[in-house]
Chain A
């Protein structure tokens, strides 16, 4: 079932098109990685998918309904967004941050204890249950990112059928946690959510995404399986580096090795 559909989405800043006619359909159970060079429009497209900004053309729908027509509260029950640089200086504990994500009182129950237990469960699920009582500003960047991921997963709740948008969720993480976070995103897809994740690391995209959407100067130049999109000449043209693709020794995915172009 196609959960999230973007049709010819265009977002402009003045005369310049940040996203230019992007079309993308993401099914429930699918992980789509959004890749592209800096400034290609990845975060802008993600914000458009989230319903954060008015579109200058095209439309975004969840289950057939345009996001721009949805009230904010309904939108909050249908999609969750992990921001790129989560900034929060208030001295909430990690647990309290996750509790802020529990937007649907019907599902969680009104009681504070039920909310605490639900939030703790989501912290455990991303492996940071031991940080529950710590003040958020005292956590490391990687720990903060995982706490925010737990908050976003808490917003999705236990039922499937929602849209999960992650903007560079692996940016502050070591390799082990990069895989752990993407495995968690993968599991969210298996729960029936449609997942879009912005990634810089093409090897991670090849390993964890069902499909890759390659964005270049605001246009989606190719959308398809990792094998279809990660093509040497295409990537060289888009990223302007020399790239080599090596099958992962472990048997699954590709290693993408880059070097500066000889000029």
Chain B
């Protein structure tokens, strides 16, 4: 990939902002976005009052807030905003890590089949999972994300395996493999919908609307537990992912177990994305757009790129969801429409720049 720095200064030195400071900026921006988003809506609540609610929950006193406002912020809006942040962070970091492991900037969770596999896993569970729920009702909230995770691992493994030729990952094969597994997943989902009964059909429809509107604190907890594995585990792979950019053989020469790294990235990515898909349907392009922007800004080193993509993904999805529920209020746009509108042009630019031809980002 020709990133913005290299393109702007073909013979000059590489200049990069300080990684720690950039992460701090993103973190502050995310916190501000969360507060603003939690205050915005049909009932507008000032940022100071949102902070007061948060402070009271933490046992501090920052002033009085009406019980109604507190209920709106704490019980209705914050779960949704935090869910958006967690899902966005998962998509961002999973995209950045997948792109590192296949050395291609086109590896978005939506394009390589993680999302469609997760969606298939979720639908199969909604249709065939009743006996499981009956057997273990306490685990019901966990079973849907687990099914989505399983689906995501299977489809992504297939797409990545199809794309690898002679130890190299061919971008065109990766995209075609993603298209193929997505098509198969869509067909199988159609089959599931065909055999579903009315009650199952209703839950599939409700789920596939793909909104963050179903957020509750317990749902946030389940999704965050899955996401935490990716958010904590993937940054540990940063040195290996950096070396992978040199090439698979070269990374091996430097002591990187390429197979193990790519397996871990696929599993962690599918866990995080699968949980997000289970909670709010397929949200595309966050995993493509955010790492691309972060790489242009901060450079390719994964120690900064992975956390920056997580924070950037969280920020983007919080803002996209804010837009989705306020732009056409009182109606609510599906948030995936906004992320696709922002992300699809980036895909076009990347293809145009020839990223699709090369194996390296």
Enumerate chain A interface residues (CB-CB to B < 8 A).
50, 52, 72-77, 79-81, 83, 86-93, 96-97, 100-101, 103, 133-135, 137-138, 155
Known A52-B249, A100-B243, A138-B10: A91·B254 in contact at CB below 8 Å:
no
B242 within 8 A of A: yes
Q: Show 11 A/B contacts (Cβ-Cβ < 8 Å), sorted by A.
A: A77-B255, A81-B253, A87-B247, A87-B360, A88-B246, A91-B3, A91-B14, A92-B299, A100-B246, A101-B254, A138-B11
Which residue from B103, B242, B253, B300 sits with its C-beta under 8 Å from A91? B300
A75 proximity list for chain B (CB < 8 A): 255
Judge whether B256 is part of the interface by a CB distance below 8 angstroms: yes
B residues near A76, Cβ cutoff 8 Å: 253-255
Interface: B358 (CB within 8 A):
yes
Q: A1 CA to B250 CA in the complex, in Å?
A: 28
B13 at interface by CB-CB < 8 Å: yes
Are the CB atoms of B243 and A138 closer together than 8 Å? no
> Which chain B residues border A90 with CB–CB below 8 Å?
1, 103, 245, 300, 360-361
Tell whether B5 is near chain A: CB-to-CB under 8 Å: yes
| A80 to B3 CA separation, bound complex (whole angstroms) | 29
- Between A75, A76, A133, A135, the greatest number of chain B beta carbons within 10 A of the residue's beta carbon is seen for A135
Query: Are A91 and B255 in contact, with the CB atoms below 8 A?
Result: no
Q: Smallest distance from the beta carbon of A204 to chain B beta carbons, Å?
A: 24
Contact residues in A for B358 (Cβ distance below 8 Å): 89
- A216–B94 Cα distance when bound, in Å, is 48
Given A88-B360, A133-B13, CB of A73 within 8 Å of CB of B6: no
B3 cross-chain contacts in A, Cβ below 8 A: 91
Q: How far is the CB of B71 from chain A (nearest CB, A)?
A: 48
Checking A52, A86, A138 against B6 with a beta-carbon cut-off of 8 angstroms, the contacting residue is A138
Given contacts A90-B361, A91-B14, 18 further A-B contacts (CB under 8 A): A50-B253, A74-B255, A76-B254, A76-B255, A83-B253, A89-B2, A90-B300, A90-B360, A91-B2, A92-B14, A92-B301, A93-B13, A96-B299, A134-B14, A135-B9, A135-B14, A137-B6, A155-B254
Whether A73 pairs with B255 at a CB distance below 8 angstroms is: yes
Interface size on B, residues (CB 8 A): 32
**Does B257 sit within 8 A of A, measured CB to CB?**
yes
Contact B247 A83 (CB under 8 A): yes
Check A91–B256 contact: CB distance below 8 A. no
Contact of B252 with A by CB under 8 A: yes
**Closest CB in chain A relative to B260 CB, distance in Å:** 9
Residues of B within 8 A of A100 (CB): 242-243, 246, 254
A67 to chain B, nearest CB (A): 12
> B64 → chain A, closest Cβ, in Å?
48
In the bound complex, CA of A134 to CA of B246 (Å): 16
Q: How far is the CA of A133 from the CA of B242 in the complex (A)?
A: 18
Which residue, A83, A96, A100, A101, has most C-beta atoms of chain B within 10 A?
A: A100
Given contacts A72-B252, A73-B255, A76-B253, contact A88 B13 (CB under 8 A): no
* B-chain residues with CB within 8 Å of residue A73 when the two chains form the complex: 255
Q: How far is the CB of B136 from chain A (nearest CB, A)?
A: 41
* CB neighbors of A among B300-333 (8 A): 300-301
Residues of B within 8 A of A89 (CB): 1-2, 358, 360-361
Rounded to whole Å, the gap between the CB of A44 and the closest CB of chain B is 13
* Nearest Cβ on chain B to A223's Cβ, whole angstroms: 25
Chain B residues with Cβ below 8 Å from A138 are 6, 10-11
Q: Do the beta carbons of A83 and B250 come within 8 Å of each other?
A: yes
Which residues in B have their C-beta under 8 angstroms from that of A134?
11-14
> Which residues of chain B have C-beta atoms less than 8 A from A77's C-beta?
255
Residue of A nearest to B260 (CB): A72
Complex interface: chain B residues within 8 A of A135 (CB): 5-6, 9, 14
A135–B6 Cα gap in the complex (Å)?
A: 6
Q: Does B301 lie within 8 Å of A96, measured CB to CB?
A: yes
Given A90-B361, A91-B299, A92-B245, A103-B254 contact (CB < 8 Å): yes
Of A79, A87, A97, the most chain B CB neighbours within 10 A belong to: A87
**Which residues of chain A have C-beta atoms less than 8 A from B250's C-beta?**
81, 83, 86
Shortest Cβ gap from A80 to chain B (Å): 7
A72 touches B257 (CB 8 A): yes
8 Å CB interface, B257-274 against A: 257
Shortest beta-carbon contacts, A-B, top 4: A76-B255, A133-B13, A89-B360, A93-B14
| Smallest Cβ-Cβ distance to A139: which chain B residue | B11
Q: Looking at the complex, which one of B10, B14, B103, B360 makes contact with A133 (CB distance below 8 Å)? A: B14
Q: Which residue of A lies closest to B5 (CB)?
A: A91
B103: chain A residues at CB < 8 Å are: 90
Question: Are B252 and A52 in touch, CB under 8 angstroms?
Answer: yes
Q: Which of B249, B299, B301 is in CB contact (< 8 Å) with A83?
A: B249
Which residues of B have CB within 8 Å of A83? Answer: 247, 249-250, 253
CB distance from B168 to the nearest CB of A (A): 10
**Which residues from A are CB-within-8-Å of B359?**
87
B215-270 with Cβ < 8 A to chain A: 242-243, 245-247, 249-250, 252-257
Interface centre among A77, A80, A93 (most CB of B within 10 A): A93
Which A residues are in CB contact (< 8 Å) with B6?
Answer: 91, 135, 137-138
Closest CB in chain A relative to B358 CB, distance in Å: 6
| A60, chain B: closest CB distance, angstroms | 15
- Quick one: which of B1-54 are within 8 Å of A by CB? 1-3, 5-6, 9-14
* A40 nearest CB across to chain B (Å): 20
Given A91-B5, A96-B301, check contact A72 B256 (CB 8 Å).
yes
